[in-house]
Copies of this chain bind each other. A is one copy, B any other.
């Protein structure tokens, strides 16, 4: 279940700007100066683990920012096979759509807190606000680059390479640079990498036997030999 409460301190503009580290990005200061636009405030929502936030095809009237926890966006085939497109951590946006419907589903990987913004009017606003549309474009282009990188992984990398790549990617999200603290299950990892649970598990065990990683707990992975892991990524 999700609880909602109004929050006025949150301005999506500033948040979007902070997330955009590119020539297209707006300076946070400029953004902070803009206020009172229809979509500048959002409502805080909580979702418990594995709760659906929205489904593919739902009417896309809201977009979201993660405050805490992790969210996955994914697609399903009719027989239930799932492909996870990405994991979203604190500060990241998801659910921004061009059309009327979400093109992915979104679910809570862990218990999480997110802020929902009305998409209403964002299009027309963007048409008259260069800074805002730069931020949106920047966001879209970075997502696109990520998706293309992910396609290379799914189409052309072996199981070890996929897992190594995932570990390196995830370790960068962690406080410690060489310890990946996982919020997700083996099932999530498998569906992100286009593998099965068993293959992910076996591959991690193998990497541990080979001395590239340590597995103190199933959700804590220490990257012992970062160079060797990166080598698998070449």
- A: residues with CB less than 8 A from B are 22-24, 75, 77-79, 81-83, 85, 97-99, 103-104, 123, 126-131, 133-134, 136-138, 140-145, 147-152, 154-157, 191, 193-194, 234
Contacts and interface: CB of A to CB of B under 8 A. Distances in A.
B156 A82 contact: yes
Nearest to A134: B127
Contacts of A127: 130-131, 133-134
A128 B130 contact: yes
Nearest to A84: B155
Contacts of A98: 22-24, 137-138, 141-142, 145
A165 to B, nearest CB: 11
10 tightest A-B CB contacts, nearest first: A155-B194, A127-B130, A147-B147, A98-B141, A140-B140, A154-B154, A133-B133, A83-B152, A154-B155, A78-B234
Contact of A145 (B103, B149, B193, B234): B103
Contacts of A83: 151-152, 155-156
B82 A148 contact: no
Nearest to A140: B140
Contact of A143 (B103, B144, B154): B144
Contacts of A191: 155
B148 A137 contact: no
A88 to B, nearest CB: 14
Contacts of A151: 75, 83, 85, 147, 150-151, 154
Contacts of A129: 130
11 contacts: A23-B99, A75-B148, A77-B156, A81-B156, A85-B151, A127-B131, A127-B134, A133-B133, A140-B144, A144-B144, A151-B154
Given A22-B99, A154-B194, 10 more contacts: A24-B123, A78-B234, A83-B151, A83-B152, A126-B133, A127-B130, A136-B137, A144-B147, A151-B151, A154-B155
A78 B231 CA distance: 10
B148 A103 contact: yes
The residue among A81, A127, A137 with the most chain B CB atoms within 10 A of its own CB is A137
Contact of A77 (B128, B136, B152): B152
